[in-house]
Every structure is written in C-alpha cells, then in structure tokens.
Structure 1
Amino acid sequence: MSKAKVGINGFGRIGRLVLRAAFLKNTVDIVAVNDPFIDLEYMVYMIKYDSTHGKFQGDVSVENGKLNVNGRLISVYCERDPLNIPWNKDGAEYVVESTGVFTTIDKAQAHIKNDRAKKVIISAPSADAPMFVVGVNEKTYDKSMSVVSNASCTTNCLAPLAKVINDNFEIVEGLMTTVHSFTATQKTVDGPSSKLWRDGRGAFQNIIPASTGAAKAVGKVIPALNGKLTGMAFRVPTANVSVVDLTCRLGKGATYDQIKAVIKAAAIDH
C-alpha cells in the first residue's frame, strides 16, 4: 500500500517536527515544504539541530535545489500566498497547514483550489473547521470534510482525560489549569507588551498567568461537555513538556481507585 503524500506549509516549530515525525515513523511521505521566510540552506541547518529535541538522527543536505532527507528529495517553495504553491506538481494530496495564519476553512481551502491538493490539516485551533483529537472524536470524521483542525496542544492533553472521566462518571462542571512551557510569542527578557502588562515579563524568569481556549475547544470535540469546562494557563520557565490539571464535579460517585482504573484502561486501549 502506497503512503500518503504530504506537503508542509510553514516550517516553524510544528512544521519541522512534523517532518521529523514523518521520517521517524515512516508512515507518510513528505514531498514538499513551503516557507517564504527560510531559505534552503537554513532549512537544512534547522532540521539538523534542534535546541529542545536534539540532533536529527539522519542525513540532511541540499541536492539540485531540493531538500535531501535520508536520500528522499523534497521540493521547497517560498510562496506567501497558498494559492501559488504547486502542491500537485509533487503529488501532495494532504497539506499540513502549520503557519498559524490560515486557520479558517476559507483561508485553508486556498491549498485545495485548482486541484492542487485534496485535504488540509490545520495544526492549530480553528474558528470554523471541524476539530479532531485522536482517541476522542476521530471516528466522527467524514470523507466529505476537506479542511480539518487538529486543535491545540492543550486540547490534545485535556480532551482524552475529560472523555474518560465523562464517559464513566459524568462531568457536571470542571476547571482545568495548564502549566505550560513558554512559547515563541513570549519575551526572553522584560519588555513592553501591547496587551497585558504581565505578558511583557521575561519567559525564563517568571510564572505568567494566561488565558487558554482549550476548555472551550473540548466542548467542540466532546459536545456533551460544551459549556461545562473553564480554565486558565500558567506559562512557566521550561522549554518543553506541559501538564494539565483537571478538577471536576461528578454526576456519579467514584473512588480514587475507580478513577485510576478507568484512566489506566483507556491508556492501554490507545
């Protein structure tokens, strides 16, 4: 069975890690990458070395104007407008939209127009695209959907836990708190912030309260929980690994051991 051919639009943190994961798991073929802000030689350097995830375990080079990753050639484009990316030239059927810019159905569909690609997966929450979290609602996917969202990192952490608890004990209401690693949008040292003053504090020295849409997003992937969860985030001085704490009121009685048992069983099944 031939592997799905995938294009990546936006070669930032997520785009590069998608490429790494694709070569590690070898379940899809990355055939093209588009990023208007990174030239080819710099792409090679950024794939090879990652301050958080370490050195890429493979060979990366430039060959005839393309990326050569472990002997596989990948076309590289530098288009700002998704309408101009020739995905069909490389046979890309699926596009990972990881710029963080084209996050609505209308904007993401630019990849599909003129028969250039078939499907788009947005690597961020979307205001109108169907959102899916594996282990939660992926079975509700319909082939007619051409643009979908993989939600946020926090939603992918919270939703599986909330589903297990709700399926077994019924969540009446809940509060989630995510202790979240700093991100590229934060400042390395204190500086002015156009929004909240606290957002201008240095990411490496402060625990900064922040808003999160993850609790609301869970209501989209688990309709039974719509409006039942709320939450907040704390940005902390770590480069990687975050945690979600969920406190909820249950409709059914449960012991600590019962809760642990159903979560463990769900973890084994998935």
Structure 2
Amino acid sequence: MPEHDVNPDPDGGDLDLDLDRALEVATGLAAWASEVIRRPRTPDTATDVREKDSPADIVTDTDEAVEAHVRATLGRAFPGHGIVGEEYGRTEGTPGAPHWLIDPVDGTTNYAHGLGWCSFSLGLAAPDGTPLLGLVADPWRGETFTAVRGRGAHLNGTPVRAAGHTTLTGHVFMTEWAAHAHWPGMDTLLATLADRHCTVRVMGSTALSLVQVAAGRATAAAIGEFHHVDGLPALLIATEAGAVAVPELPAYDEPLLLAAPGVAREATELLRRSRASV
C-alpha cells in the first residue's frame, strides 16, 4: 500500500501500520523542535521579531526555521501527503491523501517575550478533515501529548483521562484571546464563571491550553475562534482522553468548547448564554 494512503477506519490494519510510522516521525520532530525552542534567546536573536498582520500577530526566525524543517522531513517521509502550516500555508498532496497541520511555535508572543508557555503542535487529518493523529509538545516542561484516533490519549507515553468532576465550581477553566481581543461573549462568560467560583486562566497558547483538559488539569476550555493548525491536534487529544467537544469538529473561526463529561452540559449552556448575550 503506498505510504500516502490512509484508511480512515480506525479498525483497519493498514491505518494502524501507517499511523504507527506517522506517530514515530511526529514524536521525533517534537523532540527536535522542543530543543530548538528551548535554546536561550540572546539580545542578538531577540531582534528577529517581525509583524505579520498586526502588532499582536508576530513571527520569529524560530517559527519559520522549525516549520521549514518539519515540512522537509514530512515531505521525505510521506511524499504524497499535503501540508498546512502556520507560516508557509498549504502544500497540496496527491488526491485522496491526508494532510499534516503544523504550528511550529503556538504562543509566539510568549516565546518572543521570554515567557515559558508555548508549544509545538502537529497533526494529521483525513481528506475530509477528520483528525487521525495529534501531538502537542511543551518544550519547557518536557511534556508531549499524543493521540491516535481510536487509541486514547497519552502524556509522555502514559494514558491520560479528562477530569471526573461534575461541576465547574472550584475548578480551572482555560480560554484564550482571539489574537489580542476578546471574542464575542467572552466577557459575559468570564463573569459567569467568576460567580460560580470557577478559576479562569488565559495562558497564551491555544494548543497547550486545550490539552490541559485531556490531562484532567482543567475541567473545561473554550476558544472563540477555532483554527485547525493549532486546534485540531489538541482537539483529538482531548476527545481521545474522554472530553466532550462542542461542536465535534468546528469550522474555521467557529467557537470550540472542550469539557470533562460530567460538566459538559453545564459548560455548554454557559457558553450558549454568553454568546447569546452579545
């Protein structure tokens, strides 16, 4: 079977073999990228920050170098696959082939300012967008979250599960700005969660925030604008850990909620009311 052919049936043997290899390549890339991201930034290298679309949307040489290396490695390992990257856009694969999703440094603002909360995100999706493999690496804490569709989620090789909580009260809720701005309904949601004594955290890396639900550290997470390059790998990891996703597969710029099963109904209703209030 050509290596670019992936059967989207999680019970298919060919898929298992191909995704084993894909996971091995992805894990190796995560280790390399984490080492690059952890390198100390000196006054000389700290001058590489450049604007993209706005002063709040920036890129560094590290973003570009990591993505270029990942693209080259994936191109050699899986020459038929497509690639969609944060910095260099889309490279089409052969018809019917899956495509990789790369965010080389998710949380570039944190990285550029020396804040140790950013991640390397890599995923593989079927032609219809169904996530097949997800990886999110935290270079600063030496943690790598992985998931293969139908096989559960893992943190450094150990299975993880979403929290068993039955209420948001007293627990952690993760969210992120829409770039530098509040997304519609965000202020109302924050106020409602505060009333429930639910502690909100805005950390600055969408992928890394979402996988905290998979680890059971955060009971829920919501973002106002879903982007596949930094959201789809984490979405798969969280749902493979037992979290509930609303919707199951968001469209581009659509809101996403991830929640532990026992709080999914409560969190969904709070998010619905918050967005309806705008």
- TM-score, normalised on structure 1? 0.27
- Structure ID, larger Rg: 1
- TM-score, normalised on structure 2? 0.27
